[in-house]
A and B are shown apart, each in its own frame.
Chain A
Amino acid sequence: MILNIVSYLSILIFLITVLYRFIRIANTPAHLRWDLYPVPHEGFKKAKYGGSYYEELDWWTKPRHVSKASELAVMLPEIIFLKGVWEANRGLWFWSWAFHFGLYLAVFMAALVVASVIIGPAITIGVILTKIAGISTILGYILGGIGCFGMIFKRLFDKKLTMFTTAGSIFNLVFILAIFVTGLKAISEVNLFTTDQSSLIGQMQMFVSGLVGFESVPLNSSVVWHIGVTLAFLVYMPFTHMAHFVLKWFTYHGIRWNDEPNTAGSALEKDLIKSLHFKPTWAAKHVMANGKKTWVDIATDEVYKDEK
């Protein structure tokens, strides 16, 4: 039962922390534009060379086209294959891709386990999901483990990275490596490819069923270790830069690809007007802030009025 309680708490802390970080960024005021091209939602044709609606005469009189398909065409290769790292940092690419893809497969396995428990592991679809989960697990853990090793090696010995390697960055990688290693150890001690309760996936299914039904279930000790390390990581991860798996949404959609023009009477304009009425306290003389003046006051005040 202790494992169940720890699991509830860990998942709760993970969800709350991720949500908190998401909301914290979402609640920052409307900001100035800082877009960077190519902006893929300009459509396939323009995205190919990085064009924008500013290329059109009297652009404000024309309907704005936002292509989600074109965005997706950029996002998928980036998420699945780390295209950006492939193009700009080839030496790191394989390790980084293996590391990330291993994590994806591990998450995929967890989703399949939950799905098979809901569907019922014994019925045909449940059996298929269980088998896919088994394959996903072994592939993911091996790939992720290799990626972790490679990344740790690079962080410690690659001259491009060593200056920026902190104890924290090694700790993070070792932590993730521990998930893969304990997972592989559990796999080596239980039967992977059967769909009964003696397999790793079967044990995971029992664990998930136990969580759903508030029941304590007997698990192999190596599986308990594996689950324990994973839960600890779940609690730790949202406090680190690794939360980029969620917050990347803002760096791309909120900033780099945010080319929404400000139009009269729009919701954006209303938000901006609120921000323009904040009262800054910047101390330099030329800013002329005193904590009472708003940004509007400051921006419209005459810098040299005393001399006129």
Chain B
Amino acid sequence: MKTRIKIQTEDFDVGAELEALTQGTDAGAVCSFTGHVRKEGDLTALTLEHYPRMTEEEIQRLIGEASRRWPILAVTVLHRIGSLAPGARIVLVAVAASHRHVAFEACEFLIDFLKTHAPFWKEEIRDGERHWVSARHSDEEAASRWRK
């Protein structure tokens, strides 16, 4: 299976990534999720840090688990780190498969588990003050649905 995992400070081009995803595959379906920094009243920026090497290994493990569940042809996971302004793209998960149901489900599975397993941490700056973002219980619930 074709896999691309990249952690980067720079922005990414979703169109170009989707184009590259299916190159050389017989994909009939592509599903992607792009996460952005939500624009909220007093939020001025977000800083993301991660655990280098574990991040890539953990995402690779999640892709491995997804490929055991569904016949995936190609996956791209990009995640930005560093300082991000409201509205900025943070993450791209894209899955190519023969049929749409596989692409939809595998894409949702990967973003649900990325949120609860990939070692990233967000720090917000609101009104000049820094706060670490707390994990959301709803994200844990979203990931645990897949264990049933």
Determine if chain A interacts with chain B. no
| Residues in chain A within 8 A of chain B (CB atoms) | none
Q: Which residues of B contact A (CB under 8 A)?
A: none
